[in-house]
A and B are shown apart, each in its own frame.
Chain A
Amino acid sequence: MSYSIQEIWEFLKEVEDPEIPVLNVVEMGIVRDVQLEDNKVIVLITPTYSGCPAMHAIEQDVREMLVELHVENFDVKTILSPAWTTDWMTEEARVKLEAYGIAPPQKGSADKNLLMGKLRDVRCPRCKSSQTAMVSQFGSTACKSLYKCEDCKEPFDYFKCI
């Protein structure tokens, strides 16, 4: 079967992020490009973190989807550059993340404040209070920090900027 590049992009939106199933790999910014070369479909993906264990599953899921679509000639390649950044997450993805209970990343990942430990307010995804505190810079997965809300007292994950 042959599809247009645009159609392949649409199909890729069906592939979920295995760690955060409310998001797909396109809105996460993991799929960098779809190319067509002599009838060969090439999907370029990039890892969020170097050691992200989901990458293997994502590559496998993309391959399986292409096989199910009867695309005979394809390749899924991993690229490192430009390095993934939370700034690539779409606005829609940020809204979905918060609804799922994960505080979305603040914009401006290259901000020097990060290194100096000056964090801006992170809003509690449950009660929307900005009275929150970081418990640990490292959370349940490489891409998240652990926070707690001083108002509703609930702990929550914050998708940290990178």
Chain B
Amino acid sequence: MKKEEALALHLADNNLILGQRLSEWCGHGPVLEEDIALSNMALDYIGQATLLFKHLAEASGDTKTEDDWAFLRDAWDYKNFLALELPNGDYAFTIARQYLYSEWYHLYLIELSKSSNTFLQEFALKSVKEVRYHLQHGRDWVLRMGDGTEESHARIQKAVNNIWSYTGEWFIPNTNDTDLSATGICPNVESLHQTWMENVQATLNEATLQMPVSGWMHKGGREGKHTEHLGHLLSEMQFLQRTYPNSKW
């Protein structure tokens, strides 16, 4: 697999796994509007994953389709960030993840839209428009919960604290990234860290929340070393293809 394709796979997996997680809220949202919002965002993520998987399928030159990438791989083949595969938890946890990740993804896509790789550039320009809405939604809810009731404040603070140790790997480039960013194909994720911290700090301040202290961080998603949660997610998402191989819908 070429270096650009390995990067596209990582981005595709991020989108697919978070999209699948968010879709679990469909029919279970705390209020109707949020049920619809999360389902809409899930659709955006799965749409973006489809664009990337289609590109990978075409690049591979064999008869693979985007569905092969989504349904015929096992947990260790997935290269998504660990944070995105964690169970949804309560609504505060879902929102904390949405907000922190959207801040990262938004910055990442802005940089990726300057890529010297035509496909990645076009993908980023398309996706950033959608992610802008996700960021606004996540931020609004962090403010509402943080600056809300005692209960909502406590819950969103706990959620931000709990997810914090999963944000570290978003800013660690692997050797593939380092090679690609040297030639202007992808952003250097280390360089996004400061802006991300500033944006998050500003939101948490406004929400009357405390910024967690960065300590030990989880990592491994990029190498296919996942939490136990990914296997469970895949067993549901891939059920049909695993039980009835090659079946067509």
Contacts and interface: CB of A to CB of B under 8 A. Distances in A.
Counting chain A residues whose Cβ lies within 8 A of the other chain, the interface size class is: 20 to 34
Interface in A96-126: 109, 114-115, 117
Contacts, number: 77
B130 A162 contact: yes
Given A117-B140, A138-B41, A49 B33 contact: no
Interface of A is mostly: loop
B163 interface: no
B208 to A, nearest CB: 19
Contact of A115 (B41, B43, B136): B136
A144 to B, nearest CB: 9
Q: Which of A47, A109, A160 has the most CB of B within 10 A?
A: A47
B45 A51 contact: yes
A138 B126 contact: no
Interface string A135-157: 11111111000100000000000
Interface in A60-88: 80-85
B136 A51 contact: no
Interface of B: 33-34, 36-37, 40-41, 43-48, 50-51, 118, 121-123, 125-127, 129-130, 132-133, 135-137, 140
Given A47-B126, A50-B44, 15 more contacts: A49-B44, A50-B47, A50-B51, A50-B126, A51-B48, A115-B135, A117-B136, A117-B140, A135-B33, A137-B137, A138-B33, A138-B37, A141-B40, A142-B44, A146-B36
